[in-house]
Structure 1
């Protein structure tokens, strides 16, 4: 049966074809160092009375007339308005470089100035986050690739008196729910993953946000979100900072490709054994 299925000629042909697949796979040169740029901005927010500032010029240029990196609201009772910023000090822009497979590097900070206020408070917002990537090594420098993440926020300005929904050192912590649309959230590491393809290779861009995690069902309900939501709670009358960092990892080849390479190796092994039998 073996002789009928695998003739000397067919094994040679199969070996040649699959060896080419292995060779092509081996010739792929993954990116080892990247240049990156992050641009973030709130493209919508509610209710009326919330104001946006510190516009991100890049997102404005993409057709987002409102791409504020800082939202402010409320009437101060002595320590200023409350605000929520995403890299607002640099208008939502941050750039740098990183290595594939290396630890994450810091990018922007999420900062919520939680102040005692009266009047209108933030209820919801939509954030656009665009990451530009470019190969630095191996040279020459590669082309630009843009990958985006979008976030929906629900915010609850809590009364500053007990009882509190969230255990709070100063009554009461505010609640910020984050829904990263289309990105997988890992509650163990507090990270979001966006898969992408660059120059034929598979990668994952992973955003880590310190302090973000799964909220209690009571906190989710208080903010108008479903049970199992994730986000932050922030201490009253304090500047609450949450560092965002970025890493890029190689992704494992698709199972079909792995199987094809394995088949090539099997075919080459068959060819060698048959050659030994016939010699």
Structure 2
């Protein structure tokens, strides 16, 4: 893999929060169209890694290359244009309680619209059919005009996913996107994200607490511990000793009862 076809390339990237080192000299390259799960114990640095990849925070040292650009070498305006091609799904989507679901979903394309169109969309949703279509895939078509404050945590997470899918980004980063969902909905939502990524050659990176979901849905798994990459492996090659070392001194909340059968597909972009 060369730098030209890397969606994300971290060169010795470190990140500090005050005196706390969240990430320590991370080297990681993810190609266009790859689907990667990031796993590790609580506090390992998974969320910090995703926010670094999204250029939401600047590395304290080292370098990030994102979609062929160095975001922190760009002007603020150029960096904002670059971020319009990156979708970020939060574990707890920051959706105003009084905002309608249709408006929340359509906000996925605010970075691609003029300021005037964005303001008009707040009053008169400009693509109700498009919002309804993506919500239907997540079983939420009936919530189109409901206020976000009336939804459950799992429903809010699905609205966050719908907004990112509506955005149609080149790179989709998801931070514990199914943690509030029941097992059936979590499996369905991750399968939908993966189908979308494969069909559109979108690079998909997801941090996940549930190890079995990472192994079942993602061809490549990166284990993170204490701010460093502990392993970077095809899912089919992840072993119990690797997981035991990754989660040493931690309670593995949802260990796989059996190893899933995986079919690894190489993206063609």
Report the TM-score, using the length of structure 1 for normalisation: 0.21
TM-score for the superposition, normalised by structure 2: 0.22
**Rg larger for:** 1
Give 1 or 2: higher helix fraction.
Answer: 2
Q: Which has the higher contact order (CA 8 A, sep 6+)?
A: 2
Structure holding more strand per residue: 1
